[in-house]
């Protein structure tokens, strides 16, 4: 079985959302940064961009937004809360099945 860091980022992100709960982008950035030993603003932006791509592809859905007035992620940055879609669940199930071989 592969380690978390060997799994493609987008597949791991979908795996986190597979719990069916909504997650803020900064929560996902924190989890992925720790698991993949990523740090810094550039890497955080890459993870956030993966979230945007997954939303654009219909695998997660943007269900809430708020301005980061407190500096939780990036001060005055728009925060997004996402939830997995049925398409995302299907893709996650398929990717997990492929990983068992």
- Asked which of 5-9, 69-73, 74-78 is least confident by mean pLDDT, the reply is 5-9
Q: For the whole model, what pTM was predicted?
A: 0.85
Spell out the domains of the chain, with CATH numbers in brackets. Answer: 4-94 (1.10.10.10)
**pLDDT tens, 33-70?**
999 999 999 999 999 999 999 999 999 999 999 999 99
Q: Where are the alpha helices (DSSP H) in the chain?
A: 9-17, 25-35, 41-56, 86-99
């Amino acid at each position: 079985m592969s380690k978390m860091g060997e799994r493609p980022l987008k597949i791991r992100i979908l795996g986190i959302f597979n719990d069916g709960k909504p997650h803020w982008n900064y929560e996902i950035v924190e989890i992925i940064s720790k698991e993949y030993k990523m740090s810094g603003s550039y890497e955080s932006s890459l993870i956030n961009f993966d979230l945007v791509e997954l939303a654009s592809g219909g695998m997660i859905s943007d269900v809430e937004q708020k301005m980061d007035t407190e500096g939780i992620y990036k001060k005055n940055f728009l925060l997004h809360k996402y939830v997995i879609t049925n398409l995302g669940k299907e893709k996650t199930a398929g990717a997990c099945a492929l990983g068992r071989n």
